[in-house]
Amino acid sequence: MKYLCLGYYDADASKRISRAELDAIVSRCPQYDQDLLASGKVRTVASLVEDEVITVHTRGGEPATIDGPYVESKEQIGSFFVLEASDLSDAVRIASRHPAARLGEDLGWAVEVRPIANFEEHG
């Protein structure tokens, strides 16, 4: 079964530390990324651009846009990955290799794991 994993961060917490402190944390990410990819279970992985979010929704029966994420929250999605796992426990075990599950505790880093009901790939 496939699982969508969302990597979260607290944008306000990230602004409270220096760029050097953030860079020091981020520099530790590749070792966790390599371990995650070495699992052979990751199908897709991506980091998202922080300040370029547009939400498309319906207003008056027509598509409309708003700046920013749809949900007002201090936690923002900073990355996502799709993995293949035998069950939810296996997915959590694999997702726990992601840097957001291992680093950035004071920055609100976390990984949310969700089973995917329908997954279609298109060329």
Contact 102, 29 (CB under 8 A): no
CA 28 to chain centre: 17
**Tokens describing residue 26:** 């981020």
Q: Dump pLDDT digits (tens) for 71-108.
A: 666 788 999 999 999 999 999 999 999 999 999 888 99
pTM: 0.85
List Cβ neighbours of 67 (8 Å cut-off, separation of 6 or more).
Answer: 53, 54, 55
Q: Is residue 120 in a domain?
A: no
Q: Give the per-residue pLDDT at 18.
A: 93
Q: Is residue 111 in a domain?
A: yes
For residue 71, the enclosing domain spans 2-115
Q: Is residue 61 in a domain?
A: yes
Q: Dump pLDDT digits (tens) for 25-80.
A: 999 999 989 989 999 999 989 988 877 888 898 999 999 998 877 666 678 899 99
Q: Is residue 121 in a domain?
A: no
Q: Is residue 104 in a domain?
A: yes
> What's the CATH number where 16 sits?
3.30.70.1060
Q: Is residue 96 in a domain?
A: yes
Cα–Cα nearest to 44, from 9, 80, 76 = 80
Query: What is the number of domains present in the chain?
Result: 1
